[in-house]
Copies of this chain bind each other. A is one copy, B any other.
Amino acid sequence: MTTTWVAELADALGPDSVLTDPDVAASYARDQAVLAEAGTPAAVVFPRSTAEVVAVLQIAARHGVPVVPRGAGSGLVGASNAVDGGITMVMTRMDAVLEVSPADRLAVVQPGVVNKALRDAVGAAGLFYPPDPASYDWCTLGGNLAMNSGGLCCVKYGVTTDYVLGLEVVLADGRVLRTGRRTVKGVAGYDLTRLFVGSEGTLGVITEATLALRPAPAADPVTLVATFATSAQTGQVVESVVTSGVVPSMLEVMDRTCIRAVDDMLRADLDRDAQALLVARSDAGGAAALDEIAELTRLCEAAGADLVHSTADPAEGDLLLAARRAALPALERLGDVLLDDVAVPRSRVATFIDGCDAISAQYDLVIGVMGHAGDGNMHPTIVFDGSDADQRARAVAAFDAILELGLSLGGTITGEHGVGTLKADWLEREIGPVSADVHRSIKDALDPSGLLNPGKVLRRRPSATA
């Protein structure tokens, strides 16, 4: 059977666009989530056009073969992990920036465009595409759209979905759907655009996107770093920033575990005794940026910061930020890592950090907490030895305890990384049975055979898997 549909794929796309060598295919089996389930694809295809995506989905539908859309493989929850015997469809060859329009302040892109490539292309026109996941220099926009990715500047500028005006999507049966518009506003019909954004490839394959852009921010950001003796003080800063009305373009946190790991790696002369370090930035420009940072300085001092330092020198600012960006690589030097992604209401950030400390003690594992404090999106990162079965089991238990903690604080099991396979068993615990049923109804309406990225986001109804 497999040979039939593989031959049809090769006919439709050309043999250079279809890989079946098991060793090569295996390299497309999973993304960056070490503990997420993954199968082995029977074929990996590399379409060059919407028409080729249509052909793949029609062949898959005819033969009942599951299809997993994939970008660069930078995902963190296994959302593009392969399904055994299925097709993994890699979108990286559809990598054209089709249009940048300064007059309508938008861009039209194919899904394989790397985030940074779009940033550079629109930057050349004095424009700005804000969503900036940490993998922005290699992740693709198609992946960003499928996962509704965030990043460091969300606190001021929002996430991917806030920039999507319209999509072209190939549905499970090969029909080509266009959603949305080129206009700033529009309310003609249901918001299908945002239904597909963040649906993790389970409802359709995005083949084109029309993205809103912003004017480029001021070129002279001002950056602040502050250290604190308690996480309560850090939480107080977050809360007072929210209530003050200052909206920094970045407000990042890392805890003592991260501070020490970064200091070990970068020898950056960080305060190794601080319980938490905040990095904030203003891109308001000129005097406005200095005013914002002065206000943030006051708020840090009022919370009892041990040290507050700010700089308008971009190079020094980038150095301060580099420490925060180094937190994950620094933890990865200590062992295998399991990166979590919980968002809590902004008033609960300090409670959440303390709760992670308690979980670290309970499971006897190093857990470094870093995150986007300004929007309450925290990334507790569990360090463990993957070759040690006991540590591995404790890491999974600690991971679950962190999700439980997040939910108990009114938060969500995922702020920006998505559900994938890693948290598919958790989703219904957050959204409840009615919402899970509505999810399944929509999935069934758009993909009745369940061929698009099966097993991701939400488990099937028990009856459907029997």
Interface flag for A462 (CB, 8 Å): no
Proximity string of chain A (444-459) to chain B, C-beta cutoff 8 Å, 1 when within and 0 when not? 1110000000000110
- With beta carbons under 8 angstroms apart, the residue of B162, B199, B247 that contacts A190 is B199
Interface flag for A205 (CB, 8 Å): no
Contact between A182 and B104, CB atoms less than 8 A apart:
no
Q: In the assembly, what is the distance between CA of A181 and CA of B154, in Å?
A: 17
Contact between B154 and A185, CB atoms less than 8 A apart:
yes
Interface flag for A126 (CB, 8 Å): yes
- With beta carbons under 8 angstroms apart, the residue of B178, B185, B375, B438 that contacts A415 is B185
Contact between A183 and B103, CB atoms less than 8 A apart:
no
- With beta carbons under 8 angstroms apart, the residue of B181, B190, B415, B423 that contacts A439 is B190
Contact between B185 and A434, CB atoms less than 8 A apart:
no
Q: In the assembly, what is the distance between CA of A276 and CA of B286, in Å?
A: 35
Contact between A343 and B184, CB atoms less than 8 A apart:
yes
Find residues 361-420 in chain A having any chain B CB closer than 8 Å to their own CB: 372, 375-377, 410-419
| Nearest residue, chain B, Cβ from A154 | B185
Find residues 129-167 in chain A having any chain B CB closer than 8 Å to their own CB: 147-148, 150, 154-155, 159, 161-162
Find residues 180-201 in chain A having any chain B CB closer than 8 Å to their own CB: 181-192, 194-195, 197-199
Residues on B with C-beta less than 8 A from A413 are 188
A242-B105 contact in complex given A183-B412, A190-B439, C-beta closer than 8 Å: yes
Residues on B with C-beta less than 8 A from A155 are 184
Q: In the assembly, what is the distance between CA of A34 and CA of B347, in Å?
A: 48
Q: List 7 additional A-B contacts (Cβ < 8 Å) besides A103-B239, A186-B415, A187-B198.
A: A104-B347, A105-B242, A176-B434, A183-B412, A185-B416, A188-B419, A191-B194
Give 24 CB contacts A-B under 8 Å.
Answer: A103-B239, A104-B242, A161-B191, A161-B194, A162-B162, A183-B344, A183-B345, A183-B375, A185-B412, A185-B415, A186-B414, A186-B415, A187-B412, A187-B417, A187-B419, A189-B458, A191-B194, A191-B195, A192-B435, A194-B195, A215-B244, A287-B287, A441-B446, A442-B445
Instruction: Write the residues of chain A forming the contact surface with B, with a CB cutoff of 8 angstroms.
Output: 101-105, 126, 147-148, 150, 154-155, 159, 161-162, 171, 175-179, 181-192, 194-195, 197-199, 203, 215-216, 239, 242-247, 287-288, 343-347, 372, 375-377, 410-419, 423, 427, 430-432, 434-435, 437-439, 441-442, 444-446, 457-458
